[in-house]
């Protein structure tokens, strides 16, 4: 069922996040549009909402020539096909796909497909391929195999290219990451909280991991060659601050963090930390605040890539319809965090 009022609100603000979820039929003109259509908006009483273009056509309406609502599903299919091709190229050849080749394969011009792909993922096809290649190299390195072999198999022309690609994306040096955290000391503890067992881990710079229902094994999998030091005098004070921030989220936390991501991920995380306790934002609002209003899915992915739960409050992001959406540690924890913040 389509909530008419919420659909109308999305239409009045031309919210691209709803493109593909429904279409708007304008009875006075006999056309139907996508929610983000830039055409002059009609009166509310002249509007009907349909689940898709087929329903609108059955009602005697025709597609808008300005916003082309039927191309939404085609765009999604093209992006998914391109992602499959990128994965195949990166896996078989270790190379970066050419934009022109991807666009030709899905029947788009290169410039148009670049926009379609970036709108859906928040990245250009080339940037997506590079991110995939880096992730594969990280996984291979964490598995404890040969560093050089892992880097070349992931598609990098030389180890230096891999190190350059990671520069500034981690709290530790790229060389330390390549050796699974070798040379880095990470203090950690698992403590009992009202939300369940909570893992807190920190480098000398700040908290690098906060999660629920995880322990030493999960931390060691992320940094197999790091020195994991349970507890510690210097760590105790930081740990208590983290516990207080989780149990009593009355104010924004200034606890130091040691987290790095892509430029877009870091913008999203910065926007998450601006959300006051007791309030929520939609994925679309976060994408817009991060400077990429069309990259709603990418904002959701950046939200999910957050390694420091609660301190970077990804639990304060909900769907545009007000439902909770997902949460890495279960909706019960997300619901409780939001409830206790609302009470305060």
Using one digit for the tens of pLDDT, what is the confidence trace for 147-165?
555 555 555 555 555 555 5
* Residue 170 binned pLDDT confidence (cut-offs 50, 70, 90): very low
114 pLDDT above the threshold of 80? yes
d(CA 304, CA 255): 20
The answer to whether residues 185 and 232 touch, using CB atoms and an 8 Å cutoff, is no
Q: Among 21, 38, 69, where does a domain finish?
A: 69
131 and 158 share one domain: yes
Question: Is residue 106 in a domain?
Answer: yes
Length of the chain: 344
d(CA 314, CA 291): 18
7 pLDDT above the threshold of 70? yes
pLDDT digits (tens, 9 = 90+) for 202-254: 887 788 899 999 999 999 987 788 889 988 767 888 898 899 888 887 654 67
How many domains, in total, are found in the chain?
4
Q: Which two tokens stand for residue 6?
A: 């919420």
Biggest CA–CA distance in the chain, Å, is 73
Question: Is residue 195 in a domain?
Answer: yes
116 and 77 share one domain: yes
The CATH code of the domain that includes 20 is 3.40.10.10
76 and 152 share one domain: yes
Q: Which two tokens stand for residue 262?
A: 């892509």
- Residue predicted with more confidence, 143 or 134: 134
**Sheet (strand 23-26) strand order:** 47-50, 23-26, 31-33, 62-63
Quote the domain boundaries for residue 141: 70-166
Looking at residue 191, the DSSP 8-state letter turns out to be E
Closest CA to 189 of 242, 253, 244, 249: 242
Identify the top-confidence range among 14-18, 36-40, 49-53, 221-225: 49-53
**What is the pairing mode between strands 227-230 and 185-193?**
parallel
Q: Which of 87-101, 186-200, 279-293 has the lowest mean pLDDT?
A: 87-101
Residue 64 annotated among the catalytic residues of the structure: no
The answer to whether residues 166 and 158 touch, using CB atoms and an 8 Å cutoff, is no
Which residue reads 């619901």 in tokens?
335
Question: Is residue 256 in a domain?
Answer: no
Residue 67 annotated among the catalytic residues of the structure: no
63 and 82 share one domain: no
Question: Is residue 314 in a domain?
Answer: yes
The average pLDDT across 298-324 equals 88
The answer to whether residues 212 and 196 touch, using CB atoms and an 8 Å cutoff, is yes
Looking at residue 206, the DSSP 8-state letter turns out to be S
272 pLDDT above the threshold of 70? yes
Question: Is residue 325 in a domain?
Answer: yes
From the candidates 33, 64, 67, 208, which is the catalytic residue? 33
Which residue reads 């309406």 in tokens?
61
The CATH code of the domain that includes 130 is 1.10.10.60
The CATH code of the domain that includes 314 is 1.10.10.10
From the candidates 37, 64, 208, 314, which is the catalytic residue? 314
The average pLDDT across 104-130 equals 81
160 and 77 share one domain: yes
Question: Is residue 108 in a domain?
Answer: yes
Question: Is residue 301 in a domain?
Answer: yes
Q: What is the DSSP string of 25-92?
A: EETTTTEEE-TT--SPP--GGGEEEESSHHHHHHTT-EE-TTT-TTHHHHHHHHHHHHHHHHHHHHHH
Closest CA to 133 of 160, 167, 94, 98: 94
Question: Is residue 175 in a domain?
Answer: no
What percent of the chain has pLDDT above 90?
22
60 and 86 share one domain: no
115 and 138 share one domain: yes
- Residue predicted with more confidence, 138 or 104: 104
């Amino acid at each position: 069922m389509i909530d008419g009022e919420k659909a109308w609100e999305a239409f009045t603000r031309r919210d691209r996040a709803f493109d593909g979820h429904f279409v708007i039929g304008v009875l006075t003109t006999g056309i139907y549009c996508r929610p983000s259509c830039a055409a002059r908006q009609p009166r509310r009483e002249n509007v009907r909402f349909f689940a898709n273009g087929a329903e609108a056509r059955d009602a005697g309406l025709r597609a808008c020539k300005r916003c082309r609502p039927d191309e939404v599903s085609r765009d999604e299919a093209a992006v998914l096909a391109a992602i499959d091709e990128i994965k195949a190229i990166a896996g078989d050849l270790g190379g970066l796909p050419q934009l022109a080749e991807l666009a030709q394969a899905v029947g788009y011009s290169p410039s148009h497909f670049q926009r379609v792909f970036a709108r859906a993922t928040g990245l250009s096809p080339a940037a997506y391929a590079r991110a995939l290649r880096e992730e594969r190299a990280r996984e291979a390195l964490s598995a404890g195999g040969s560093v050089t072999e892992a880097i070349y198999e992931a598609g990098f022309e030389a180890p230096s290219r891999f190190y350059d690609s990671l520069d500034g994306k981690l709290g530790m040096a790229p060389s330390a990451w390549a050796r699974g955290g070798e040379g880095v000391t990470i203090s950690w503890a698992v403590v009992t909280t009202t939300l369940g067992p909570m893992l807190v881990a920190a480098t000398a710079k700040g908290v690098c991991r906060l999660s629920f229902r995880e322990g030493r094994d999960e931390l060691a999998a992320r940094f197999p060659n790091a020195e994991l030091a349970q507890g510690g005098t210097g760590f105790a004070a930081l740990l208590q601050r983290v516990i207080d921030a989780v149990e009593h989220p009355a104010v924004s936390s200034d606890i130091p963090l040691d987290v790095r991501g892509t430029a877009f991920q870091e913008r999203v995380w910065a926007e998450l930390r601006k959300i006051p306790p007791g309030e929520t934002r939609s994925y679309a609002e976060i994408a817009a605040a991060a400077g990429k209003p069309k990259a709603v899915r990418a904002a959701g992915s950046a939200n999910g890539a957050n390694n420091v739960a609660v301190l970077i409050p990804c639990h304060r992001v909900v769907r545009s319809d007000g439902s909770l959406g997902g949460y890495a540690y279960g909706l019960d924890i997300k619901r409780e965090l939001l409830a206790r913040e609302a009470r305060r």
